[in-house]
Structure 1
């Protein structure tokens, strides 16, 4: 069995707790939930949904790239939204980061502490 490899990049905010930004293992990368924080950890919770969503997507992409993949290789994505009505606006932004075939995706309503969105993903590592 191969070891799990933690991924760390300064291009995304540091973990806010005892977890890795991502774990690479057996051809896949599991990305921890990314929120709308800048790479230095500043919270964008007072910003519009569009600004928050774009930052969360950029953070997710930065961690994926650090692991040797990208959201273009996502196989599953979970999007946590405070307000499910934001799903249409999210979907418009989402297409700037992924193309057909789109990954499997779930949108979950969540009472996020201080944010409107959080995104986690599983990405394949391209061969």
Structure 2
């Protein structure tokens, strides 16, 4: 089975040599998303909640392009610049996974692309 590149115009274009997502054997691997607004390319960083919502909207656009939704996500990785923001990020993130949340890790890092505060990647499984 060949890998399929998934690209949504409703999510920001990659800022490097990578794809938004790859579908391989019914598993969707979504690259880390940051809070770039897709139509303008502007960074959304008013506050950590708004930034996290934009990250989740970008993930959602890619999931939808592949015919999936958050209920299909089995694993997320969250990278944060300041773990003191964890509770606020988690509150927003949890609103997108209302039942059976996926496996996850959250890691504090010293720096992220474009100096954002949060980056999230995920893996989803296509069952139909």
- For normalisation by structure 2, the TM-score amounts to 0.92
Q: Distance in 2 between matches of 1:78 and 1:23?
A: 16
In the alignment, what sits opposite 1:30? 29
- CA shift for structure 1 position 48: 0.7
- CA shift for structure 1 position 99: 2.5
Q: Which aligned runs of 4 or more in structure 1 are off by greater than 6 angstroms?
A: none
In the alignment, what sits opposite 2:119? 118
In the alignment, what sits opposite 2:44? 44
Q: Distance in 1 between matches of 2:11 and 2:127?
A: 21
In the alignment, what sits opposite 1:4? 3
Please list the CA deviations of residues 5-51 of structure 1 after superposition, one character each: whole Å capped at 9, or x if unmatched. Answer: 00011100000011100000111100000000001321124x21111
Where structure 2 has 5 or more consecutive residues not aligned to the other structure, the ranges are none
State the number of aligned residues.
Answer: 125
Where structure 1 has 5 or more consecutive residues not aligned to the other structure, the ranges are none
Q: Is the 8 A contact 1:6 1:23 kept in 2?
A: yes
